[in-house]
Structure 1
Amino acid sequence: MLRLAAHGWELDLLPNLGGSIGALRHHGQDILRPAPANPTDALQTACFPLVPYVNRIANGRFRFGGRSWRLPLNFGDHPHSLHGVGWQRPWQVTEQGEDRATLALDHPGGDGWPWPFHAEQQFRLSGGGLAARLRLRNMADEPMPAGLGFHPYFPRHADSRLTTRVSAAWTADITQLPLARVAPDHFGNWAEGDSLSRPALVDNAHEGWAGDARIEGGGLSIRLSATGADGLHLYIPPGADFFCAEPVTHLPDAINRGGMDSLAPGGDMEIGLRIFLA
């Protein structure tokens, strides 16, 4: 574990566990859901990177560059490939200071993703909270599809509310692939602020995100903002003491639906994330 501390903030990083965040605290109070002692899976952590694609690729199959590709199914008995490869690989610490750190991942190609890439996460603490950046560079000699996201877990309390603006939401089938584009308030009146105590599972994509969200509850008002990501995926499991608000660059299965970026050889893309107190 690598710990950063500055301005009353503490950030625990878990480079060997998918380049994840283990905890984010302000004066000892958890801002993100903390990982348990000795976590063994990035899904147990406070946040992990989504690279080089976001969410699901249906049945791990797609066509790109005139060829058909098949990815390994990397999430137990789930029928789709999930969240890329970065969350299941160790990252290297390439820079470290009291208030900042950089983690890097070099993927040689194959073994989960056909194209080689270089990914980098930069973290910095200031009086204004946490700022993070996730960058991706295509190291192949041909174009590759690409997408990025962050997967933060926030504590959820009985009085927790989410306020944010999106232009639309997507319903999903039983395996969580998008089905139909619906009104932005289909799962909650987020524009006016709505309770995070939902009667049924929410695991749904939202598009046209304004890039800013407020999370209130438990005596805190947390702000989430992002750049380079116009999607927000919400994961709100009933009865759990956490929920996820994930800034992302594309919808689930976008690679099969014409909605995923393509990076030229040597091309880069990046997203930024800030978590702070309002």
Structure 2
Amino acid sequence: MNTDNTPQARRNVVRLTAGAAEVDVEPENGCRLSGLRVGGTELLRQGAKYGCFPMVPWCGRIDHGEFRNGAELHRMPVNAPPHALHGTGRDLRWRTARRDARAAVFTYDLADPAAPWPYPGTVTQVVELAEDGRSLTLTLGVEAAADSFPAQAGWHPWFVRQLDGGGAPVELSFDAAWQEERGDDHLPTGRRIDPLPGPWDDCFGMPEGVEATVTWPGRLELTVASRAEWVVVYDEQEAAVCVEPQSGPPNGLNSLPRLVTPIDPLEVSTTFSWRTLG
């Protein structure tokens, strides 16, 4: 059996390049970024469940996997008991719609039989490196084909704590307007509080747009920026830290529904930009 786990050995990897940057996308593995390298240095935690995956058509947890659309009650698979976690898109095979050297477009059908989502529509992810290779922009779009429905979209990047397995651990900086108080069930209680010190598995509000800095001292500084107003920060694991821009808070299908209609799709983007230090 071939145990090689290099990008070249994986099936159907779309590799994009610009300047000193390389991005690997695996459309058959939830359209996740399995690699983001700058000058040959990998920034993302490796492994089939890690990298950077899109969260769609919801982000974070849905309370007991249930949400309402008007009078209709829907139940999603409970994959993180007692809740449904991170959407269905990360578990599906996406189609590569088009690509060139530094950009690619991927789609999947919301009515895919493998995705238990009750409404037809289309999800699109655009992955694009800047021409100078100093930034990466990700864009998610959710379109309704018929009935309107609530949806969310965002990303879950796993940034390694130490580059090349050594050196100073990563530092994280952000300035949030508030923190969503988290209940014992890991869902927001609906109460906004002043941001607390970490470690975190928490959602923060940034009404002027998400901006956070991930720094590997002496090596690299990466900025996560988005016009989205919500970010989840997760740094409770030793191997990586996660900075997750998203269009709404956890359980937002219930607490803050954003309806997608045939004439009003949901679109959200985030940009990772970086500079070398030292």
TM-score between the two structures when normalised by the length of structure 2? 0.85
Paired with 2:169 and 2:120, the residues of 1 have a C-alpha distance of 45
* Correspondence 1:69-218 to 2 at 5 A: 69-75=74-80, 78-108=81-111, 111-126=115-130, 127=132, 128-139=134-145, 141-157=146-162, 158-179=168-189, 180-184=191-195, 186-188=196-198, 198=199, 202-208=200-206, 210-218=209-217
Provide the residue aligned with 2:73 in structure 1. Answer: 68
* Correspondence 1:241-256 to 2 at 5 A: 241-256=239-254
Paired with 1:54 and 1:114, the residues of 2 have a C-alpha distance of 17
- Cα offsets for 1:85-122 (capped at 9, x unmatched): 11111101111211111111112177421111201111
- Conservation of the 8 A alpha-carbon contact between 1:31 and 1:222: no
Residue 270 of structure 1 pairs with residue 264 of structure 2:
no
* Correspondence 1:228-247 to 2 at 5 A: 229-238=228-237, 240-247=238-245
- Distance verdict in 2 for CA 1:45–1:159, change over 3 Å: closer
- Cα offsets for 1:135-176 (capped at 9, x unmatched): 11011x221001111111111245422222211112323331
Paired with 2:223 and 2:93, the residues of 1 have a C-alpha distance of 29
- Cα offsets for 1:19-75 (capped at 9, x unmatched): 100000011012332x23xx3xxxx22101111111111011122222222222134
Count of paired positions:
252
Paired with 2:249 and 2:159, the residues of 1 have a C-alpha distance of 21
RMSD of aligned Cα (Å) = 1.8
Provide the residue aligned with 1:220 in structure 2. Answer: 220
Residue in structure 2 matching 1:51, options 51, 56, 61: 56
Structure 1 residue runs without a partner (length 5+): 189-197
- Conservation of the 8 A alpha-carbon contact between 1:109 and 1:117: no
- Cα offsets for 1:200-224 (capped at 9, x unmatched): xx21111125322111124211111
State the one-letter code of the partner of 1:5: T
State the one-letter code of the partner of 1:242: A
- Conservation of the 8 A alpha-carbon contact between 1:7 and 1:125: no
- Conservation of the 8 A alpha-carbon contact between 2:152 and 2:253: no
Paired with 2:253 and 2:111, the residues of 1 have a C-alpha distance of 21
Paired with 1:155 and 1:217, the residues of 2 have a C-alpha distance of 9
Percent identity of paired positions between Structure 1 and Structure 2: 27
TM-score between the two structures when normalised by the length of structure 1? 0.85
Provide the residue aligned with 2:4 in structure 1. Answer: none
Paired with 1:48 and 1:27, the residues of 2 have a C-alpha distance of 22
Tell me the secondary structure at the aligned position of residue 206 of structure 1: strand
